[in-house]
Amino acid sequence: MTDPRPIRPAAVPLADLFRRLSTEILRLEEDGLVVEDWITRSLQAGAAGPSMDPLTLQRLDRKLQTLRELGELLEKVAETVPPGLALDIGELLQGLRLRDLARALDGQDHARPGAADGEVDFF
């Protein structure tokens, strides 16, 4: 479901933008850790279903570690950006399909949403 609130065009201080990007990346890492834990517990319990190759789990773990590192790096970048630098991100955000992500990067939503907008794909 699309939120009717428009993304407002605005110049965002680069430090804020990097901080918001960091927050979103670290949230992805947190969500991925939940999935990784669930997969691990399922495998340990011998849950029925297709077996998972250990290499696949290692790749997932590597992706989660990379997200953590990128999130922390962007937070450090946010701390070192000279004051006064800003970027008008209104048009850039209009191109994002996930409205909750666009609002978070624009600074409109500070709380983590309970459910993401968009469509759910079942594979």
Domain ranges for the chain:
11-106
pLDDT band at 116 (very low <50, low <70, confident <90, very high): low
Q: What is the pLDDT of residues 18-73, one digit of tens each?
A: 999 999 999 999 999 999 999 888 888 876 566 677 788 899 999 999 999 999 99
Q: What is the pLDDT of residues 72-113, one digit of tens each?
A: 999 999 999 999 999 999 888 999 999 999 999 998 865 555
pLDDT of residue 45: 80
For the record, the structure tokens of 37 come out as 């834990």
pLDDT of residue 1: 46
More confident: 6 or 87: 87
DSSP 8-state code for residue 113? P
